[in-house]
Amino acid sequence: MKAIVAGSPGSEILLDPIATALSAEGWSISRFYGESLDCIAPTCWTDVEILVCYGLPCGPPQLQRAPMLLGIVSPTIGYEWIDEAAASSRGILVVNGAVPENQESMAEAAILLLLAALYDLPGAQAELRAQGRRRTPPRMLKGKTVGLLGYGNIAKAMITRLQGWGADLIVHRRGDTGTDERVHFVSLAALLERSDALILLASLNEDSRGIIDAAALDRMKKGAVLVNIARGGIVDEAALAGRLADGRLSMAALDVFETEPLPNGSPLRALSNAILTPHAIGHTVESFAAIPAAAIDNALALSRWEMPASARNRHIEKAWLGRRG
């Protein structure tokens, strides 16, 4: 098999072990690191069969150069840099790295941020260090209504971990409500209006982009907290900053932003009631250790014309298999 392993600068630590392992399987591997997929030598596109790609936009201009491409593998759970629709139209599978360790780490990290927001951890630190800010009175999780926007694997892992905390868990998901006796499924309006703490866990797509806008924030309880570990594009950051500044919301804990890294001029940076982390709060030793093995398994499955469990566009299976031979 001929494969390209390509990523943004700094992703070598993630991608090089994958490239090395596939080389050991007898694959022909070309590695490229740069600001875009233009860093790939033009001659490599003509016969590439598998593309392992991290952080570099991949859409029609790139795909049309690769007539032999069977699948694109993202080594992480995120894959928004890959144009799934464009890949599907060409019979190319898109596969992400949905390893259990990632989901579990992110669930733990979301709970960490939730508790840090409820207990105003930054305020407690500032008070001890005499930095001119008194701590907001801490609040227990027990007895609170925690709203989850999204019902994927991370949400389910959170729900499991929050059993026994004495919180009322409500969920809004796209499509049917589903069944889970541990939670109550509600409308988006009810989620906003009832949540003492709102946790954003939804994928970023055309339905979710900007869904937490000014109007949505104004429907939330006064003094509520918001935690976002999903994607920054789900939230209107300017509106959120305004609601934090005027006290409409008591605290936000954000690991993701519309533009990353968060610009120095962002009003969020000036707010003492905003906990900000650099899209890495759940990147544990355990999750990083699991990523290469999952990416390698996915690439090898594609080479055998087997559908990986984490294929995002498995609905094109018939068209994909039709390209075999």
Could you tell me the pTM of the whole model? Answer: 0.83
- For residue 25, indicate whether it is catalytic: no
**Catalytic choice (161, 184, 279, 314):** 279
Among 163, 166, 248, 162, CA closest to 199: 162
Residue 194 among the catalytic residues: no
260, 286, 306, 317: which is the annotated catalytic residue? 260
pLDDT of the residue at 98: 82
Q: Counting Cβ atoms within 10 Å, is residue 201 exposed (0-12), middle (13-18) or buried (19+)?
A: buried
Instruction: Confirm if 248 and 218 have CB atoms less than 8 A apart.
Output: yes
Domain 2-97+285-322 has CATH 3.40.462.40: no
- The CATH number of 100-276, from 1.10.443.10, 3.40.50.920, 3.40.50.720, 2.60.40.10, is 3.40.50.720
User: Which DSSP state fits 82?
Assistant: B
Tens-place pLDDT, residues 154-212: 999 999 999 999 999 999 998 767 789 999 999 999 999 999 999 999 988 889 999 99
Is residue 260 flagged as an active site residue?
yes
Positions in the chain whose pLDDT score sits under 70 = 176
Please provide the DSSP assignment of 286-314 as one string: HHHHHHHHHHHHHHHHHHTT---TTBTTG
Alpha carbon distance, N-terminus to C-terminus of the chain: 14
* C-alpha closest to that of 72 among 308, 315, 283: 308
pLDDT of 263 reads: 97
Q: Of the residues 139, 172, 173, 231, which is catalytic? A: 231
Q: Quick check: do 2-97+285-322 and 100-276 share a fold? A: yes
Q: Where are the domains of the chain?
A: 2-97+285-322, 100-276
CA distance 29 to 34: 17
What pLDDT, on a 0 to 100 scale, did the predictor assign at position 288?
Answer: 86
